[in-house]
Amino acid sequence: MLLREAVGRVLRLARTSQSRTLRDVARDARVSLGYLSEVERGQKEASSELLNSICNALGLSLSILMSDVALEIKSTEGATLSVVDAA
Amino acid sequence: MLLREAVGRVLRLARTSQSRTLRDVARDARVSLGYLSEVERGQKEASSELLNSICNALGLSLSILMSDVALEIKSTEGATLSVVDAA
């Protein structure tokens, strides 16, 4: 799994768990809706500055976000290992 | 602290703890020495693909890197809070 894919998944989960729209969070973070959508889908690397803005808009600290990202990546690494083990 | 600064610090620590040179790790990761140096100094955002290459060159999983990055960021967030508390 790529870092931007894990970041996107965690950001989307944080937003949807708050029942907020892309438009709402993008406005609060002062990024375009298209940018946020691409970041959430793992198609664009968020710059560190805009990642901080998005975290602020979601009321998340960057360290919590990155802890969740580490867990998200780890779950995929585990899945890959299982496939190797089963072969 | 910006994400790219935390990533750079953790990557540099991983490399120096292995007593390896920028040149050595850059060659193994197939990135330019200048690129790796800028990433380590937090001056350039590493693309997710090249971050995976650098992790492979260092024998680090991406999830472990990001766990360390989360801790690095958290230590700075704590430091900021302390300053606020002391004010």
Interval A19-78: pLDDT, tens: 999 999 999 999 999 999 999 999 999 999 999 999 999 999 999 999 999 999 999 986
Interface test with A, best of B54, B66, B81 (most A CBs within 10 A): B66
The per-residue pLDDT for A77 is 86
Q: Domain limits of chain A?
A: 3-86
Residue tagged 């989960």 (tokens): A13
Distance, in Å, from the CA atom of B15 to the CA atom of B38, rounded to the nearest integer, reads: 14
Predicted pLDDT at B77: 86
Q: Which pLDDT score, from 0 to 100, does residue B82 have?
A: 54
What's the full length of chain A, in residues?
87
* Interchain contact, B62 vs A52, CB within 8 Å: no
Contact at CB, B69 and A70, closer than 8 angstroms: yes
CA distance B3 to chain A (A): 5
Cα-based distances in Å from B4 to A23, A66, B47: 26, 12, 10
- Tell me the shortest Cα–Cα distance from B51 to chain A, in angstroms: 8
Helix (H) or strand (E) run with residue B14 in it? helix B3-17
The number of beta carbons lying within 10 Å of the beta carbon of residue A84 is 7
Q: Detail the DSSP E strand segments found in A11-78.
A: none
Q: How far is CA B19 from CA B8, B9, B72, in A?
A: 16, 15, 21
B10 three-state secondary structure = helix
Distance, in Å, from the CA atom of B22 to the CA atom of B60, rounded to the nearest integer, reads 16
Confidence bin at B81 (pLDDT 50/70/90) = low
Which residue in A has a C-alpha nearest to residue B3's C-alpha?
A48
What's the maximum distance between 2 C-alpha atoms anywhere in chain A? Answer: 48
CATH number of B3-86: 1.10.260.40
* Model ipTM over 0.90: no
pLDDT tens-digit profile of B58-77? 999 999 999 999 999 999 98
pLDDT at A87 > cutoff 60:
no
Q: A77 by DSSP, 3-state: which?
A: helix
B2 touches chain A (CB under 8 A): yes
Task: Render pLDDT for B6-21 as a digit per residue (tens, 0 to 9).
Answer: 999 999 999 999 999 9
